Each structure stands twice: as structure tokens, then as C-alpha cells.
């Protein structure tokens, strides 16, 4: 009798397990595959003028990289006064950032973070068509700042630079600096 009862209990248990397992959802996977999504956009950029040979400079003096090597006039800056043209030759709107590395040669020049460079420092600023005035230009430093944002595909922007030489020099060696324009997909 006891054995029969045990059998009945065992059969009932198995029926319950079957019933429960048939209505329970499948155990969900606890992991998900890593997904990679990319749209077939391409990033490209051209800049029409790549050189600025300033020549011999004097201390605490502003030099302009514009169409006529003078400060843009009138203000806000007009396209005709700009020096170079950036063209977004990519397929999507791009942000264009700008930075400058410390000047090398002789004692070298550090990059000033404002427009009043101390001894051994140089200040670089950049502006584009429509920049309000000199004060409205982007201070170009060793890390990127945005020169222009959301430049549409096939769009162009004209730009210029201003260089403020050090308050004083420690040597007369030739200096070289590199300005980098960086293009990335906007948004």
C-alpha cells in the first residue's frame, strides 16, 4: 500500500512538472551578442591653402593670413578677405575642428591660450566668413576647438588666421608650427 502511494505521488509529481514546463516561458538567454552598426558614410575634407610663410617677424606684432595679409575689413569678416577654402568632400555634414602644435626650432614657442602671448609664446586665432571681429575668432590651442560645425556635404567655408608673436624672443632661430584641421561626422 505504501509503495502504491509512493508511485501515485511520483506520477503526480511528474505530471505537475510536465504541466508547469509546458506553460513556462523558455529560459531567456542571459547574454546578448555584441552588435555593430555602421552606415556607409564617408568623411573627406579639402583645404585650398596649406602654407603660411610669414618671413621675419618682430615681437608683439600681429600677422594676418588673409587674402591681402591685412586684418579683414569690413567686419564681420567677408569671404573676399579670407585666405583659404575648406570643402566638405564627404557624404555627410561634418564638424571641422582646429588645433596647433607648439612651434619647433631653436628654443621653440609654446602656444598661448589667449591673445596676449608671453615671452616664448605665440598666439594663433582663426576666423571664418561671418566672424564678428578679431575678438570673435577662435583661439587655436594645442587641443581642438571647433572652427565650424555642421558643414553640409559639398559645402564650403572660407577662413583665415591671425598670429600674435611673443612678447620677446630668446633666440633668432626659424620656427615651424603645424595647424591641424580635423573632420568628423556631425551628429
- For another protein, the binding residues (CB under 8 A) are 3, 7, 10-11, 14, 17-18, 21-22, 26-27, 31-47, 49-52, 84, 89-92, 94-95, 97, 143-144, 146, 152-154, 176-185, 187
Strand, coil or helix: 12: helix
Burial letters 55-65, b for 16+ CB under 10 A, else e: eeeeeeeebbb
Neighbouring C-alpha atoms within 13 Å toward the C-beta of 60: 5
Half-sphere exposure of 33 (CA within 13 A, CB side): 3
In whole angstroms, what is the distance from residue 110 CA to residue 117 CA?
9
Residue whose cell numbers read 501515485: 8
**Quick one: 85 or 167, whose CB is closer to another protein?**
85
- Is the CB of 51 or the CB of 74 nearer to another protein? 51
Min. distance of Cβ 107 from another protein in angstroms? Answer: 19
Report, in Å, the least distance between residue 33 CB and another protein.
Answer: 6
Nearer to another protein among residue 49 and residue 171 (C-beta): 49
**Closest distance to another protein from the beta carbon of 40 (Å):** 6
Q: Which is nearer to another protein, 40 or 55 (CB)?
A: 40
| Least CB distance to another protein at residue 51 (A) | 5
Is the Cβ of residue 75 or residue 139 nearer to another protein in the bound state?
A: 139
Q: How near is the Cβ of 114 to another protein at its closest, in Å?
A: 20
Q: What is the spatial distance between Cα 21 and Cα 18, in angstroms, rounded to a whole number?
A: 5
Which sign does the torsion angle of CA 80, 86, 91, 96 carry? negative
Amino acid at each position: 500500500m505504501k509503495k502504491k502511494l509512493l508511485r501515485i505521488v511520483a506520477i503526480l509529481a511528474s505530471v505537475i512538472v510536465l504541466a508547469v514546463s509546458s506553460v513556462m516561458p523558455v529560459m531567456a538567454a542571459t547574454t546578448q551578442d555584441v552588435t555593430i552598426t555602421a552606415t556607409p558614410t564617408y568623411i573627406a575634407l579639402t583645404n585650398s591653402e596649406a602654407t603660411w610663410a610669414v618671413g621675419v617677424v618682430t615681437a608683439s606684432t600681429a600677422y594676418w593670413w588673409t587674402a591681402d595679409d591685412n586684418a579683414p575689413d569690413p567686419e564681420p569678416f567677408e569671404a573676399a578677405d579670407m585666405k583659404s577654402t575648406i570643402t566638405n568632400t564627404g557624404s555627410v555634414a561634418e564638424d571641422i575642428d582646429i588645433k596647433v602644435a607648439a612651434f619647433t626650432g631653436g628654443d621653440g614657442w609654446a602656444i598661448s591660450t589667449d591673445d596676449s602671448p608671453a615671452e616664448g609664446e605665440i598666439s594663433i586665432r582663426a576666423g571664418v566668413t561671418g566672424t564678428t571681429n578679431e575678438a570673435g575668432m577662435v583661439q587655436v590651442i594645442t587641443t581642438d576647438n571647433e572652427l565650424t560645425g555642421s558643414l553640409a556635404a559639398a559645402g564650403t567655408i572660407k577662413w583665415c588666421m591671425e598670429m600674435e608673436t611673443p612678447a620677446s624672443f630668446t633666440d633668432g632661430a626659424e620656427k615651424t608650427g603645424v595647424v591641424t584641421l580635423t573632420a568628423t561626422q556631425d551628429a
